[in-house]
Every structure is written in structure tokens, then in C-alpha cells.
Amino acid sequence: MLQVQQLVRHFGGIRAVDGVSFDVSRGECVALIGPNGAGKSTCFACIAGQHQPTRGHIVWNGQVLDKLAPAERLRHGVARTFQVAQVFEALTVLQNVQLAVQARIGPRAISAFNLLDGQSREPAFALLEQTGLQVLADQDALSLPYGAKKRLELAMALAASPQLLLLDEPAAGLAEQERASLMKLVKTLAGQGVAVLYTEHNMDAVAGVADRVLVLIEGKLAAQGSFENISRDSMVRRLYLGDRVIDGADCA
Ligand code: ADP
Ligand code: MG
């Protein structure tokens, strides 16, 4: 189980995250929503290790992660994707995933002289299939449409066989149908026991997907509950949801 305990992260005078506590259990799919600048990505960075908390703790399966580097957290099963997809643009789609697979197998596989080995090909293909990218296997990552790049980043995160998956706007830039199929995959992963925490601005990627919704506003948790309850919360509607939620069509 992930436990975020009284998390605070300041950047100079900016209180990006200001005393946030929540849990995510195995098999749970939790959405962290809120306006731009609310602190969602900073929360992710504190959980995955790109930033250290100013105060508070990140506990995963009973272990305090606060001081661990991202790679060490990955070895504990904590993987993330970024709001702006991070992939190796000089490599093909398949090669990107092969690298991620090799990183799991062990650092021996990655050297300047032996960047990609045959052993990682099959598991990498399986991940491309899982994320619907197999037809793009040989395309350069540089020329990928944005949505495909997001899916590639997810495939790379899955290469680590994560138990906690943090997805920063996984469906941003995807067309509605693509978004639905991606969120279905995310839901399947949770069904297999992965703890999933994700951010999204598209409410169709939250309604019917998230088991629980956390609303972050100005670095503080303003509300939490089912999407149904959140979307009826007048304060949340005023400060964030507004026109995103249409009465009667909000809980598909
Ligand atoms: P969200 O993901 O909800 O849009 P962020 O976590 O990206 O929000 O940002 C929260 C606040 O922290 C914003 O005011 C942002 O400008 C600030 N912030 C985020 N990262 C940094 C950073 N590395 N340095 C300084 N300020 C930052
Ligand atoms: Mg963000």
C-alpha cells in the first residue's frame, strides 16, 4: 500500500504541495484531479523520487522511500510516466521498450557497444501488443504522434512490472476512443493487483474508471470520494470541474 503522509513540497516561496495525506491500496485505481498548478505532478515527483519532500513521508509497503533515488524506487516496484512523455527519440518504438526491459533484467545489458540484445525483443513485443503499439514497432519515436508517445511511455513503465504505477495525464492528447481503450488497460492493470494513481483533465477518463477521486487545489486536498460524489460537490464544481461535468452525463 502507498501512504502519502503530510506531504509538503515548497519551491522557494511556492507551496506546490501543502500537507497532503492519502493512501492507495493494491488493486485500487485512484485519480488525482485538480486545476493546472494544483501540485499534482509535484506529488508524483515526490512519490517517484524526482523530488524529495520538504516535509512529510512517502511510505510504500511499510518502507519509507523519502531518501531513495527514482531507480531504487523502481526496484521496489514504483514506476511513473511524465506529463510530457519521456522517451528516447533517436530510437525506434521497439528499441525504447527493449531498453526498458533490459534495465529490468540488469545493467549488464546496457552498454554503448551492446545497446540492444535479442533477449529483450520478445518481452518488448508483448508490451507493445499490450499497449496497442505493435504496428508502430519500427517507427522512430521522434516522429510518433503525441498520443502514441504517451502509450510508449506506459509500455516502458510496464517493463518494470510495477506494483505501484503513477501516470501523469496518461490520456492527454489522445482521441476519445484511444483514451477509452487506454483507460481500459489502466483498469485491467489495477484488476491485476497494481496500485494505480493517475492524473487527468478529461473527466471521461475518470468517470467509470477511478475507484476513488482525490481533488487537489492549491496544494491541498480539497475533497475526496467517488466521482459521483465529487462531481456533485459545489466547491469542487466552482473551483475546478465547472463545465467539464454535464449533469446526467457525468457518471457514465
Ligand atoms: P500540476 O501538475 O497540478 O499542474 P505542478 O505540480 O506542476 O502542478 O505545479 C505546482 C506548483 O509548483 C506550480 O505553481 C508550479 O509552477 C510550481 N512548480 C512545479 N515544479 C516546480 C519547479 N521545479 N520549480 C519551481 N516551481 C515549480
Ligand atoms: Mg502536472
CATH number of the domain encompassing residue 244: 3.40.50.300
Q: What is the pLDDT of residues 42-54, one digit of tens each?
A: 999 999 999 999 9
Residue 121: inside a domain: no
Q: How buried is residue 113: exposed, middle or buried, by Cβ count under 10 Å (0-12/13-18/19+)?
A: exposed
- Helix axes of 121-130 and 146-158: crossing angle, nearest 10 degrees: 130
Question: Which residue range forms the structural domain that includes residue 7?
Answer: 2-87+144-250
Question: What pLDDT score was predicted for residue 223?
Answer: 94
Residue 127: inside a domain: no
Report the half-sphere exposure of 156 (CA within 13 A, side-chain side). 26
Residue 62: inside a domain: yes
Higher pLDDT, 187 or 239: 187
Report the half-sphere exposure of 95 (CA within 13 A, side-chain side). 15
Residue 139: inside a domain: no
Question: What pLDDT score was predicted for residue 240?
Answer: 86
Residue 138: inside a domain: no
Question: What pLDDT score was predicted for residue 238?
Answer: 87
Reference 53, options 86, 20, 13, 77; nearest CA is: 20
Atom of ligand 1 nearest to the CA of 38: 3
Residue of 42, 47, 197, 215 best suited for mutating to test ligand 1, as the one with most atoms within 8 Å of CB: 42
Ligand 1, CB within 6 Å, residue ranges: 11, 14, 16, 34, 36-42
Residue 137: inside a domain: no
Residue 249 has pLDDT above 50, yes or no: no
Residue 116: inside a domain: no
| Count of domains observed in the chain | 1
Residue 170: inside a domain: yes
Tell whether pTM > 0.85: yes
Mean per-residue pLDDT over the chain, rounded: 90
